[in-house]
Amino acid sequence: MAIQSDERKLSIYRDADVAARYDERWAGASGQRRDERTRRAIERALARLGPVESLLDVPCGAGRFSAWLSQRTPRYLGADAALAMLAQTRGKCAAPLVAADLAALPLRTRGFDVALCIRLMHLVRDAERRTAFLRELARVSRRAVVVDYVQSESLKVWYARARAGLGLRDHAPSALSREQIRAEFERAGLELLAFEPLRSPGWLSDKVVVLARPAG
């Protein structure tokens, strides 16, 4: 199977059928456990900040965390580039939503305490594009950004890379080391504060939630 372009991976969610089926990945016992681990890692990152008054959730997707976050935060805004995904979110909660591209958010600078970005960066192989997304998250946040990544220091990625090396799979997964993540954040004007792995010890999970604050 050929590596899909970033554009293709980011735009499939505009399809109404893809959006309607998105939540299926969190159905079933294992999906629910993965979902819950991510939620807990986000909660640990947010708890480090104390009370959070306003939060931008971009991309909010099909509203995976919208009901929870809009109850947790006095001012919540969900944003996504795909109208089909926003329609799914609308079916779950009454929180304000906006159609917006993370590359150029129609939102004011430092308008939110926290900008949250979950399950997007691993879809983007182009480092410049990831950094542009991070810069925009940094611009709209006053206190912190919370972003998840696929980390290379994990059993799953070591195994997948070994298989790719032996020709047993077509391509190695797109994963970054913690040092690469830190450098990417610095380029975007963000100071890294904490890694919140989804499991303990951290190498048991390929996902990590990163907390950072606008530098300076």
Residues at the contact surface with ligand SAM, assessed by CB under 6 A: 10, 13, 58-61, 64, 80-82, 85, 101-103, 118-120
Report, in Å, the least distance between residue 121 CB and ligand SAM: 10
Which residue is at the shortest CB distance from ligand SAM?
61
Report, in Å, the least distance between residue 165 CB and ligand SAM: 27
Report, in Å, the least distance between residue 127 CB and ligand SAM: 15
Choose between 106 and 216: whose C-beta lies nearer to ligand SAM: 106
Choose between 99 and 162: whose C-beta lies nearer to ligand SAM: 99
Choose between 8 and 165: whose C-beta lies nearer to ligand SAM: 8
Residues in the chain: 216
Choose between 80 and 184: whose C-beta lies nearer to ligand SAM: 80
Choose between 69 and 212: whose C-beta lies nearer to ligand SAM: 69
Report, in Å, the least distance between residue 154 CB and ligand SAM: 19
Cα dihedral: 43, 46, 51, 54 (round 10):
-100
Report, in Å, the least distance between residue 37 CB and ligand SAM: 12
